[in-house]
Chains A and B, each alone.
Chain A
Amino acid sequence: MQFFFNFGRYLLLMKSTFSKPLNYKYFFKQLGTEINDIGLNSLGIVSIISVFIGAVLVIQAGYQIQNPLIPAYTLGYGVRESVILEFSPTIVSLILSGKIGSSIASQIGTMRVTEQIDALDIMGVNSASFLILPKIIAGLLVFPFLVSISMMIGITGGYLAAIMWGISSSVDFIAGLNYWFVPFEIVYAIFKATFFSFLIVSISAYYGYFAKGGAEDVGRASTKAVVYGSVAILLSNLIITKLFLS
């Protein structure tokens, strides 16, 4: 019952969010700020995680693929597929769900409990659209960029690990990267990441927007945002993968 109540309220919030901005100049100013907060400020963590995961993938795959019957290019091929199909769009989104989701929920939640949202409503400003829409648009714009960067850095990290520890030769690894490359996989990965960005931002905004009480409740809203955001990512990952790849 609680699920249906929350889902219905979430849909109503989204309906209210997707309305014409009151002042476009102000909207674009906020959009710029959100692109910086959600995108540029996440670049560091995304790069660090990607390079290490790429390297670890190569070491683990190299450890498992030691049979001389398996072609040498398999390592590069496997790393490319893992990074593009799953690691960059899904794992990066899960990590960003923690970083961005908790930040959005606590920011909006604090505005709610300190009556800043009430102040917007009383002025006649559509608070949902004013606060949430720039964040959603910013997420939709920057996630494909972040995921693309993550793919590049992840594969580079794998390549460096392969060469540095002699797991594979440069020629074999690059041959694997080029082997049976299907460009649609990039489209699939970017689509997935874009959809996940919408889930992360909208779910965390929902929990922040309806926060009640004080600091403890804002903290609770922030935790819920991360938990439910992550669950939504995993569930939709399964559905999207089944629809696109099976």
Chain B
Amino acid sequence: MIEVRNLNKSFEDKQVLHDVNIIFEQGKQNLIIGQSGSGKTVLLKCLVGLFEPDSGTVLFNDRDFTSMSLKQKKEIRKEIGMLFQGGALFDSMTVIENVMFPLQMFSEMSKEEQIERANFCIKRVELEDAHNKLPSEISGGMQKRAAIARAIALNPKYLFCDEPNSGLDPKTGVLIDNLIEEITQEFNITTIINTHDMNSVIVHGDNINYIYQGKVWWQGDKTEFLHTQNEELQDFIYSTEILKRLKPQS
């Protein structure tokens, strides 16, 4: 479980996050949604320590990440897997080398054990064919799957995903969403997904947090989501023509 308490973050004069309070639950897909520029990426980066918050705390299973020393943060980071929007695979390494990278850096495994673990992760994301290919030689969807394999290589307790299906066709996007859901349940990890893809929200949103102008504007699950009376959230949900047609008539 990850708990965010009274988190604030500003850049120069502009306050981006205002007093954010959220609980991200274990074994569930916790979604952060909101329009572009609402502050959700800043929130995600504060959670993983890429940005230092101005005030507030982030607790990883009651361990205060924000007040930790760099050395202590490094220990927590070994428990974190992250899927970046563009995959962020190391482009000079093949898929298997990318997946083996965290194992080489942080595990005590022998070379054979590392290869075995990497093969397991690659198989788990159904990417056996791309084993020895460079990121530039595989499609965007395959890159995302390879990035998921790398993120789960060290058996993380926490998985962060920044817009996992952006830039993908709807079918591949659904495959990636399903894969993240399966992994979350299979390994009972705390998954936090930053998205504005409505299909992901409606199908996978166990715990949805709508960020509006840097504030947590609405919290709930996928069943409550479509029936919300919150005006700003309704605007956000029903902004596309296809969803407008699905809007319940009051």
Contacts and interface: CB of A to CB of B under 8 A. Distances in A.
Given A124-B74, A124-B106, A125-B105, A116 B80 contact: no
Interface string A102-119: 000000001100111011
Contact of A123 (B85, B86, B91, B105): B105
Interface string A1-30: 000000000000000000000110110000
Nearest to B50: A118
Contacts of B74: 124
B236 interface: no
Contact of B82 (A22, A25, A110, A119): A119
A54 B28 CA distance: 70
B105 A118 contact: no
A116 B91 CA distance: 9
Contacts of A115: 84-86, 88
Nearest to A120: B90
B105 A23 contact: yes
A121 interface: yes
A114 B105 contact: no
Contact of A122 (B82, B86, B91, B104): B82
Interface in A164-211: none
Interface residues of A, number: 16
Given A26-B104, A115-B85, A122 B80 contact: yes
Contacts of B105: 22-23, 26, 123-125
Contacts of B5: none
Which of A23, A111, A121, A124 has its CB near the most chain B CB atoms (within 10 A)?
Answer: A124
A123 B101 CA distance: 10
Nearest to A22: B105
A119 B85 CA distance: 11
B77 interface: yes
B56 interface: no
B48 A123 contact: no
B78 interface: yes
Given A122-B48, A123-B102, A124-B77, A116 B90 contact: yes
Interface in B10-61: 48-50
A39 B82 CA distance: 36
A139 B105 CA distance: 24
B106 A119 contact: no
Contact of A114 (B49, B86, B101): B86
Interface string B58-101: 00000000000000011101101010111011110000000001
Contacts of A124: 73-75, 77-78, 105-106
B160 to A, nearest CB: 8
Nearest to B77: A124
A25 B102 CA distance: 14
Contacts of B102: 123
Contacts of B106: 123-124
B6 to A, nearest CB: 24
B50 A121 contact: yes
Interface in B98-116: 101-102, 104-106
B67 to A, nearest CB: 18
Contacts of B77: 122-124
A122 B80 CA distance: 7
A26 B104 CA distance: 8
A10 B73 CA distance: 24
A116 B88 contact: yes
A-B pairs with lowest CB-CB distance, top 7: A124-B77, A115-B88, A124-B74, A119-B88, A115-B84, A122-B82, A116-B88
Interface of B: 48-50, 73-75, 77-78, 80, 82, 84-86, 88-91, 101-102, 104-106, 160
22 contacts: A22-B105, A26-B104, A114-B91, A115-B86, A116-B88, A118-B88, A119-B84, A121-B49, A121-B50, A122-B48, A122-B50, A122-B77, A122-B80, A123-B80, A123-B102, A123-B105, A123-B106, A124-B73, A124-B74, A124-B75, A124-B77, A125-B105
